[in-house]
Amino acid sequence: MLISRRKQRILTIATYLILAGFTLYCLMPFLWMFVTSIKPDDQIRTLNPSFLVKQITFGHFDNVLNNSAFLTFFKNSLFIASVTTVAALLISIFAGYALSRFVRFKGVKLFGVAMMLSQMIPGVLLLIPLYLVMKNVSLINTYASLILAYTTFTVPLCTFMMKGFFDTIPYEMEESAEIDGASRVGIIFRILLPVSLPSLVSTSLFAFLNAWNEFMFGFVFINDESHRTLTPGVSLFKGLYQTDWGSMMAASVLSVLPIVLIFIFLQRFLVEGMTAGAVKG
């Protein structure tokens, strides 16, 4: 026994209290979004706001799904975020491996520093330069523009996560395979990656989430509705003088819910993956 019975009980109660507090803190804005989305218009912005819904309506969901291009936005976001995730993952597996195994080379070290530096540039400043780059290669208003931009933004973090993970795998595992004549890529794909599924999952989730939630570039690079992504799409419900809160919240709920479900489903991997990567950092 590491701890006395009585103390154990106090600790358990404290734990539940703390978790209840966190649940309230985390959930409240989301619940507010949900409650708003099922309220009729005249009960949304009132002087006595309340979490209780007197009268449930699904009119806002109907409006979002049938009178707006929400489903197109959803499909676009799904496509862009998925391709970004795959691309970022592939690139960062190799880059992370290099950072983990070959830091002894000056070039590789320098590359690590450059990746770090790239995180320090405020995104707002890149808006116009990147727009120009994209325009010069005629990518404005294509999925490719966003995929390229998001991949660039996520690769550094993914690389560091993969590096952290590879650091925890002893080099001996590779050596024996190398003696058997396996190539480096073969080693990575046949020996390292199979034991690192959780890390791959958690890295992918980061990449996916980043691409899914990005707003500014999604708006600036895309000109037409058939290519627009979710976050900019949802904000269309905000007019110049008036915001359609019910519909906006319904759209938000619809765009957040799938991600929350994926996260709940995959969260075991998430923590495991971070365990592998983060400890040695």
Q: Name residues contacting another protein, limited to 155-214 (CB under 8 A).
A: 155-157, 159-160, 164, 183-186, 209, 212-213
Report how far apart, in Å, the C-alpha atoms of 214 and of each of 11, 81, 221 are: 40, 10, 12
Q: Is 233 within 8 Å of 251 (Cβ atoms)?
A: yes
The helix/strand/coil state of 90 is: helix
Measured from the CB atom, the residue of 56 and 185 that comes closer to another protein is: 185
Among 61, 74, 81, 115, binds another protein (CB under 8 A): 115
Nearest-angstrom CA–CA distance, 138 and 135: 5
Among 5, 6, 25, 55, binds another protein (CB under 8 A): 25
By CB under 8 A, residue 111 contacts another protein: yes
Question: In the window 224-263, what residues touch another protein (CB under 8 A)?
Answer: 224-227, 230-232, 234-245, 247-249, 252, 255-256, 259-260, 263
Three-state SS string over 183-247 comes to: CHHHHHHHHHHHHHHHHHHHHHHHHHHHHHHCCHHHHHHCCCHHHCCHHHHHHCCECCCCECHHH
Nearest distance in Å: CB 278, another protein: 4
Among 7, 171, 173, 197, binds another protein (CB under 8 A): 7
Nearest distance in Å: CB 38, another protein: 15
By CB under 8 A, residue 55 contacts another protein: no
Show the CA angle centred on residue 265, arms to residues 260 and 267, nearest 5°.
85
Measured from the CB atom, the residue of 57 and 184 that comes closer to another protein is: 184
| Total number of residues that touch another protein (CB under 8 A) | 147
Nearest distance in Å: CB 219, another protein: 5
Tokens coding 170 = 């002893």
